[in-house]
Homo-oligomer: A and B are copies of this chain.
Amino acid sequence: MQHTDFRLEKVNCSACPIRHRAVCARADDNELEKLNAIKFYRSFKAGETIVWAGEEVDFVASVVGGVATLSQTMEDGRRQMVGLLLGSDFIGRPNRETVAYDVTAISDVTLCCFRRKPFQELLSDTPHISQRLLEMTLDELDAAREWMLILGRKTAREKIASFLSIIARRETGSDTVDTGSNVAFDLPLTREAMADYLGLTLETVSRQMSSLKRDDVIVLEGKRRVVIPDFNALLEETGDDADGGVLV
């Protein structure tokens, strides 16, 4: 029974719509087996808080579908997003049972969770996985540092342009967006969430979106769908060096 259970789950895991970057992507059969044994799924409705800052959680997880955010809130209500979790991103960390930020479901979210205790044991046993986790964490650190430049030094217009180019890259999945060609995607965030991402107010976000639209840098179809007729033109607006879509 345990055996069939595992078989079933294994198929299940490979079938996750997006393969989990963190743990499944390069795992071999043996590791997959162990992962499947400690795995379960949880779903959250849009707007629901997945974990509150300071809360204890007994699992780590990988985002299977939907969008979630990490954010910090000050006493007087000022809020700053510090992490944006899309498909296959990782939540939680080994060797720390409390979470430091509010984790919120922005759309309906499905998580593939791993029970913390056994996951940590797996980590110690399988250097492979802990090295993979290190790589991921370094990538996140890079993203955080790019974000810091945006927050600290860019104008509102540059912030919006940078945000759009980041989302375009992540949503379309291609690191090197064909510059010059049409790119289209749905914004995974409301204007307010964008504001929390960029350290702006939602009014300023709205104004700058309108302004970029007026200047034909973007085309809006409805409020959420964005078409970028010329990706290079967008990159011009970000204030970054012009040498292509390099993240770091």
A75 at the interface (CB under 8 A from B): yes
The number of residues on chain A lying at the interface, defined by a beta carbon within 8 Å of a beta carbon of chain B, is: 44
Copies per complex? 2
In the complex formed, the residue of B with least CB distance to A78 is B153
Question: Could you say which residues of chain B place their CB within 8 Å of the CB of A220?
Answer: none
- The segment from A31-39, A123-131, A203-211, A225-233 that touches chain B is A123-131
Residues on B with C-beta less than 8 A from A82 are 145, 148-149
Within the complex, the shortest CB–CB distance from A39 to chain B, in Å, comes to 21
Interface check A56, CB cutoff 8 A = no
For residue A15, CB closer than 8 A to chain B, the reply is no
Q: Among B83, B153, B239, point to the contact of A145 (Cβ < 8 A).
A: B83
> Which of B79, B100, B138, B144 contacts A93 (CB under 8 A)?
B138
Q: Mark A81-92, 1 if CB is under 8 A from B, else 0.
A: 011000000000
Q: Is A1 positioned at the interface, with any CB of B under 8 Å from its CB? A: no
Q: Which residues of chain B are near A151, meaning CB under 8 Å?
A: 148, 151-152, 199
- Taking the complex as formed, is A50 at the interface, i.e. its CB lies under 8 A from any CB of chain B? no
Known: A141-B140, A145-B72. A79 touches B153 (CB 8 A): yes
Query: Quick check: is A185 within 8 A (CB to CB) of the other chain?
Result: no
Q: Does A46 contact B (CB under 8 A)?
A: no
Q: How long is the Cα–Cα vector from A137 to B198 in the complex, in angstroms?
A: 24
B residues near A140, Cβ cutoff 8 Å: 141
> Are B134's CB and A248's CB within 8 A?
no
A104-141, CB < 8 A from B: 123-124, 127, 130-131, 133-135, 137-138, 140-141
Q: Which residues on B sit within 8 Å (CB–CB) of A178?
A: none
Interface residue ranges of A140-174 to B (CB < 8 Å): 140-142, 144-149, 151-153
Given contacts A70-B145, A94-B134, A151-B152, 11 further A-B contacts (CB under 8 A): A74-B240, A74-B241, A75-B239, A76-B239, A78-B153, A93-B138, A95-B135, A134-B137, A144-B148, A147-B148, A151-B151
Binding site for B on A (CB under 8 A): 70, 72, 74-76, 78-80, 82-83, 93-96, 100-101, 123-124, 127, 130-131, 133-135, 137-138, 140-142, 144-149, 151-153, 198-199, 239-241, 248
